[in-house]
Structures are given as C-alpha cells and as structure tokens.
Amino acid sequence: MLQLLLSVAAILWATVSVLANDEQDCFQAQEPQLRITGCSQMIGRAPDDATAYHNRAFAYALAGELDNAIEDYSKVIALAPSNASAYANRGRAYASKGDYTRAVEDETRAHELMAKATAEPPALPAKPANAPKKRPAAAKSAAAAPKKQIPKAKEIPNVAQEPAAAPAASWWSWLWGNGEQGGNKNAKP
C-alpha cells in the first residue's frame, strides 16, 4: 500500500513539475522556440487561454514566423476582443509583411481601445435602490466634534538681511593643520 502511495505521489509530482515548466517556458523563456513549445503545451491543455496565445504569438514574431504570429494574435482577438495589445502587435506583424492597410486598421483599433479604457472609470457594483445611506464613523465624529481654532503662523525673521558668519578657517587649514590658517602642524617654521 505504501509503495502504491509513493508511486502516485511521484507521478503527481512529475506532472506538476511538467506543468510548471511549460508555464515558465511560455511566460519567461528567452529563446522563442522554447517559449513557443511551452505556450503550445499550455494551449493544448486550455484552448481558450488568450494569454498563452498572446505569448506564443509574440514568440513567433521574434522568431520571424509572422504568419503564425498573426494567426495567434487573431485568436487572442477572438477570445478577448478588447485586448488593445493584440491589435497593436498584429498591426506591427502586418506592417512587417508590407500589408499596411491591415496594419493601419489594427493600430487604429488599438488606439480606440486604449482611449476607451482610459476614458472610462472602472465599473463599480451598483448599490440597491433601497440601501440605507450610512455615513462613515469618521464623518459622524468629525461632525459632532467642535471646530478647532487654527493657530496663526508665527512671523519668520528675514534671515537674508543678517550677515553670514565668516568661517573660522579655510578648508586648507582644516586639511593640513590644527585649525591654524595655512599650515601643516608638523611643518617646521
């Protein structure tokens, strides 16, 4: 029985390690082919993972496989139509292939999506119409507390009119001596 449990644990450990390696390769690998392989493994397990498609498309573009990159960016757009980055990157891939009409269309759509995202505040959940209006505790205590008098600012003397104090000795005397002007304390007179 113990041997069976150890075998199952070893298989699970190996599976988790493989899954973690695929994800790490997909998101962090420096080599495009390694990233493509890792992302392809992730897509095989989760075919609707837009992030995996996006990373694989980026790796295809780095590897110079522009048709595959465009195909994956198109898949990202189908899965997440408001992904401005996918439109911008697909536009760059089209431009690299010389298809400037599609490149301009995608770049324009990317800019529209980015402008829309920055113009709209994030959606907050709506309050029910019959919800009681509550004041925060801090607001209640502030309203009940008496108003405090703000003290007047003290007058600050104008220090610019006062003469600056002369330094006791130059930095040379500090460096070479015991505070005496111009000399090394070890020098003979």
Per residue in 69-85, pLDDT (tens digit) is: 999 999 999 999 999 99
| Residue reference for tokens 């004041």 | 135
Report how far residue 42's alpha carbon sits from residue 161's, in angstroms, rounded to the nearest whole number.
Answer: 74
pLDDT in tens, 116-137: 888 877 666 666 666 666 665 5
Q: How far is CA 147 from the centre of its chain?
A: 43
Amino acid identity at 95: A
Report how far residue 138's alpha carbon sits from residue 132's, in angstroms, rounded to the nearest whole number.
Answer: 18
What class, spelled out in words, does domain 13-119 have in CATH? mainly alpha
Whole-model pTM?
A: 0.56
